[in-house]
Amino acid sequence: MMTADERMKDLNRHICVDYADNVSLSSYFRFCRSMLNMAKEYEKDGCKIRAYCLRKRFVILFIDHLSRREDFKRSGNEVRTSWCRECERVLKIVEKMHEEILQEFKAEELSRRKISAPPLGAIAAAADSTVAPPGADLENRSLPSSQSPSSTTSSLPSTATPVTISSCSLPQPPSPKPSATTPPKIDRSLKPSTVRLSLRNGLSPILVPRTLAATFIKVVEPNTRANRETCGTLCGYLSPEGDKLVVSHIIICKQIGTADSCTTTNEEELLKCLESGGLIVMGWIHTHPSQTAFMSSMDLHCHLSYQLMLPEAIAIVCAPKHEEVGYFSLTPDYGLNFVRDCKETGFHDHTSLRDLYTTCEHVIYTEGKVEIVDLR
């Protein structure tokens, strides 16, 4: 049985960041906000360890990677200041939670020792053991100045195993408790009748309203008739059990669409929606006005930003002309790394003998409705 210190070290060892420098800064900002919203959901449901892991993951991602990017340094002063202050705020929470979790581990350890009736000396030794201070493993990381972010040093590898919803069950976490309150603007009636759903390829189920694609196609029909692609961000919340993702919203940002591409603008409006609604980004949806439902090279690179941060993330492709709808994701054992290592931009060929993407097997359809938030 591990000691409290060993459990804390093991917990921190599981907190990894999978970073790719060919993912846009705006994509990372989107998922940073989503990650922090997810942490709030976990904490509200009594899952302190999961909340701690996500918040610490954000701190590591921001200090070790995002603040060092040239495009971050070139960002407006308001953007840099806002994210630096957010990181400082979250870091304080992480340090506080570190101490709280460690004390809980110590209390459990002491309780086990009392039950086992050990010698008094052993209990005293456990109580006097040297404990790493909160955030000790972050001591080599420094918060960048809000005016001119500085470089940081870290012993953490830049590539590690991403954290999935299912893998957040780290060593001996507290049992999830039902949420006492319902977040605003979120309809939890979307929860299916099935109490427990099995994992697919190690991924937790993502619950999607059966009518979601049809609803989106109807809303963006004017663009489709004009042969312009339209895209939206899939958002939602954690199930009360904390082991499933529920898609409840599609946020359609201002965008520029062509016959075979779509580029969003004013993404700060998306961040505000995520923050105000406490929503989690779970993937994206877009149309192919004249083509079939498949993932182009640009689609694959776009989806990389979603799946790196949330392995359960899905890409929905709607092809109204061919009456096709596809639910796709990068193959975790090959496609994810292949696309991450590809430095090409625009439309290009991927010379691969293996499948880069596949049809999602972890999507579960529900009878709920989806809310469209159209920011155009």
- For position 39, what pLDDT does the model report? 95
Contact 75, 54 (CB under 8 A): no
**Backbone phi and psi for residue 314, each to the nearest 5 degrees, phi listed first:** -120, 155
- For position 74, what pLDDT does the model report? 94
Q: Residues in the chain with pLDDT < 50?
A: 146-198
Non-local (6+) Cβ contacts of 121 within 8 A are none
Strand spans (E) along the chain:
206-209, 231-238, 245-252, 255-257, 262-264, 280-287, 314-319, 324-330, 357-359, 363-366, 371-374
Span 188-374: which CATH code? 3.40.140.10
- Strand pairing partners for 286? 231, 317
Please report which helix (H) or strand (E) contains residue 251, including its range: strand 245-252
Say which amino acid occupies 24. Answer: S
Non-local (6+) Cβ contacts of 341 within 8 A are none
- Strand pairing partners for 110? none
- For position 194, what pLDDT does the model report? 31
- For position 169, what pLDDT does the model report? 38
What whole-number distance in Å separates Cα of residue 208 and Cα of residue 367? 9
What whole-number distance in Å separates Cα of residue 250 and Cα of residue 231? 9
- For position 85, what pLDDT does the model report? 96
- For position 148, what pLDDT does the model report? 42
Which CATH architecture is the domain 4-164 placed in? Up-down Bundle (1.20)
Please report which helix (H) or strand (E) contains residue 327, including its range: strand 324-330
What whole-number distance in Å separates Cα of residue 234 and Cα of residue 132? 40
Domain chopping of the chain, boundaries: 4-164, 188-374
